[in-house]
Amino acid sequence: MTENGIWNWEHAWEVLPDLLEGLVVTIEATVVGMAIASILGLFIALAMRSPSRWVTIPLRFVVDFIRMTPLLVQLVFVWLLFSTIPTLVVGFTVLGVHYATYMSEVYRAGIEAVPKGQWEAATALNLPKSRTWRAVILPQAVRNTLPGLGNYAISMFKETPFLFAISVVEMYTKAQQYGALTFSYIEPLTLVGLLFLLVSYPTSLLVRRMEIRLA
Amino acid sequence: MSDFLQTLTSRLPSLGDAILVTLELTLGGAVLAMALALLLGFGARTRSLWVRGPSRVFIEFFRGTSLVVQIFWIFYVLPVFGFKMEALAVGIVALGLNFGAYGAEVVRGSVASVPASQWEATIALNMSWFHRVRRVIFPQAWALMIPMLTNLLIQLLKGSALAYYITLHDVNFWTTQLRRATSETVYSFTAGLLVYFVIAYLLTWGMNALEERAKRRLGRGTRPSLRDVVGLRPAVGTAAITGRGTAA
């Protein structure tokens, strides 16, 4: 504590550039993670439609297992397991795979929401299966999934601080480092919280607008 | 592998303690979150700006700032202001505040989806506000909100793994200790993750039972209740024809 009270503006200004640097990593993690999640999620959703139980039952178990266990523990696990792979890659991949299990549900709902008549029309036109998916079903399904994708992007953004556990230097780790160095946690931690709010709240408003417009 | 199993069995008693800590965090956080969710969820629906405004600010604030930041803020920064809490209390409060804000949106949304005619009917019957909500609105909203609350509960359980970083000896801590003792990364973490998975599975199961019960009380049950199956009283009315559970 200093003579000018609990909050020290000097500390705040000093740490802010570091935090913004961390914010870039945080946003990078969200973008890369979400890219992995949306692609892998789609493949999981498609594989879950397979008629063979030998595919769906093990896949269901793996997906449930990943979804119902803590991201934090998964991160540390994979990080310790593959110590030769760069930390950043491990962090982004685990984030992506974890959220892919959520995204697969979003895709499943999106695909199921495509009216049955569309399938029947594709059959009537004798479209091959791949063409039916690419030209008829997926374009409509993906439109249904956009709000879900946006919501999960926001929640992933807020979960990136878990990366501190594997020492990826994102925004929260920067704050923690500054706090450990100067013994003043109040300014960096408060600023990190505010920065999260500053990015996530406007984004969530945008997603809500998109939800209303697409509905 | 046999070495690992030996160490694992010797550490089973401490696993019990670890599960207890994780459950305390999860259930304590859930109870606090639910209380907050009800308060804020109904608060965000009132006409008065003096209630609605603060409720909305509170909800958006705790949804918008990350759980990780909140838990460490309460742990590291709040003592500076003179609020020193035990680590377990910090965990429960942080989880409760964060998921209370998420839950408030679920409560608000579910209450809003109860048909307006239900409100109108209660007004026509001259029920008091509390009576309306308790007897008519909430039972219907409750059946709607349980699936979403289940998701939040599982996320809360997963978030509780953070407790290890505020010095608590939860399942996450137990896992890392097991790994340190055996230096078997794969086995240790598989064991730890399985523990979380089983807890999550049981919680989901319980919540599904709650949902079934809530639906049955509205006469919308999809399975016969245990009492219908075991009981001697024959099922009557539509239940016997459609094979659906009767309204309790």
pLDDT tens sequence across B8-25:
898 899 999 999 999 999
Instruction: Taking the CA atoms of A100, A106, A109 and A112 in sequence, report the sign of the dihedral they define.
Output: negative
pLDDT > 70: what percent of chain B? 90
Shortest Cα distance, chain B CAs vs residue A120, angstroms? 31
The answer to whether B69 contacts A196, with C-beta atoms less than 8 Å apart, is yes
Ramachandran region, residue B48 (left: φ > 0; alpha: ψ -120 to 50; beta: rest): beta
The answer to whether B186 contacts A68, with C-beta atoms less than 8 Å apart, is no
Helix (H, G, I), strand (E, B) or coil at B54: helix
The answer to whether B192 contacts A73, with C-beta atoms less than 8 Å apart, is yes
Write the residue in A70, A77, A161 that is nearest to B68 by C-beta: A161
The answer to whether B72 contacts A189, with C-beta atoms less than 8 Å apart, is yes
Show which residues on chain B lie within 8 Å of chain A, measured between beta carbons: 60-61, 63-70, 72-73, 76-77, 80-81, 154, 157-162, 165, 172, 175-176, 179, 185-186, 189, 192-193, 196-197, 200-201, 204
Shortest Cα distance, chain B CAs vs residue A64, angstroms? 9
d(CA B179, CA A144): 43
Q: Which two tokens stand for residue A173?
A: 């780790």
The percent of chain A in helix, strand and coil, each rounded to the nearest 5, is 85, 0, 15
Which residues in chain A have Cβ-Cβ distances shorter than 8 Å to B185? 77, 80-81
Domain ranges of chain B: 14-168+205-217
The whole-number pLDDT of residue A166 equals 92
> According to the per-residue pLDDT averaged within each range, which of A139-148, B158-167, B222-231 is highest?
B158-167
Helix (H, G, I), strand (E, B) or coil at A1: coil
Which residues in chain B have Cβ-Cβ distances shorter than 8 Å to A159? 66-68
Q: CB–CB of A119/A137 below 8 Å? A: yes
- Taking 60 as the threshold, does the pLDDT of residue B199 lie above it? yes
The answer to whether A165 contacts B165, with C-beta atoms less than 8 Å apart, is yes
Q: Which two tokens stand for residue B124?
A: 């026509």
Which residues in chain A have Cβ-Cβ distances shorter than 8 Å to B157? 70
Q: Which residues of chain A have pLDDT under 50?
A: 1-3
Query: A3 lies in a domain?
Result: no
A58 touches chain B (CB under 8 A): no
The whole-number pLDDT of residue B245 equals 45
d(CA B164, CA B173): 5
CATH of B14-168+205-217, one of 3.90.320.10, 3.30.420.40, 1.10.3720.10, 3.40.50.2300: 1.10.3720.10
DSSP string, B195-244: HHHHHHHHHHHHHHHHHHHHHHHTT--SS--HHHHHSSSPP-THHHHH-P
* pLDDT one-digit tens code per residue, A141-155: 988 888 889 989 999
The answer to whether B76 contacts A189, with C-beta atoms less than 8 Å apart, is yes
Q: Which two tokens stand for residue B177?
A: 């200790």
The whole-number pLDDT of residue A5 equals 67
The whole-number pLDDT of residue B84 equals 86
- Of the residues B26, B56, B62, B68, the best mutation for testing chain A's interface (the one with the most A CB atoms within 10 Å of its CB) is B68
Number of domains in chain A: 1
Q: Is the ipTM of this complex over 0.85?
A: yes
The answer to whether A69 contacts B204, with C-beta atoms less than 8 Å apart, is no
How many residues in chain B?
248
- Of the residues B26, B60, B62, B66, the best mutation for testing chain A's interface (the one with the most A CB atoms within 10 Å of its CB) is B66
Task: Give the domain extent around A92.
Answer: 9-214
CATH, residue A87: 1.10.3720.10
In total, the C-beta contacts within 8 angstroms joining chain A to chain B are: 106
* pLDDT one-digit tens code per residue, B117-156: 999 999 999 999 999 999 999 999 999 999 999 999 999 9
DSSP string, A85-153: S-HHHHHHHHHHHHHHHHHHHHHHHHHHTS-HHHHHHHHHTT--HHHIIIIIIHHHHHHHHHHHHHHHH
- Of the residues A8, A11, A73, the best mutation for testing chain B's interface (the one with the most B CB atoms within 10 Å of its CB) is A73
The whole-number pLDDT of residue A1 equals 47
Q: Which two tokens stand for residue B241?
A: 């024809």
- Taking 70 as the threshold, does the pLDDT of residue B231 lie above it? no
- Taking 60 as the threshold, does the pLDDT of residue B248 lie above it? no
Query: What is the residue type of B118?
Result: Q
The answer to whether B196 contacts A193, with C-beta atoms less than 8 Å apart, is no
d(CA A174, CA A23): 9
- Taking 80 as the threshold, does the pLDDT of residue B226 lie above it? no
The answer to whether A186 contacts B189, with C-beta atoms less than 8 Å apart, is no
The whole-number pLDDT of residue B241 equals 44
- Of the residues A69, A197, A200, the best mutation for testing chain B's interface (the one with the most B CB atoms within 10 Å of its CB) is A69
A162 touches chain B (CB under 8 A): yes
